[in-house]
Amino acid sequence: MAFSVLAECKERFGKKKGQKMFHGFMWRWWAILDAKKQGILTEFAREAGDMLEINTAVFRAAAQCPLNDKGKFEIEEYRSLIRQIISDEDATKAK
Provide the domain limits for residue 40: 2-94
Instruction: List the beta strands (DSSP E) in 1-95.
Output: 45-48, 51-54
**pTM for the full predicted model:** 0.82
- Provide mean pLDDT across the span 23-37: 92
Distances in Å between the Cα of 83 and the Cα atoms of 22, 40, 41, 78, 80 are: 26, 12, 11, 9, 5
Number of domains making up the chain: 1
* Residues 35-89: tens digit of each pLDDT: 999 999 999 999 889 998 999 999 999 999 999 999 999 999 999 999 999 999 8
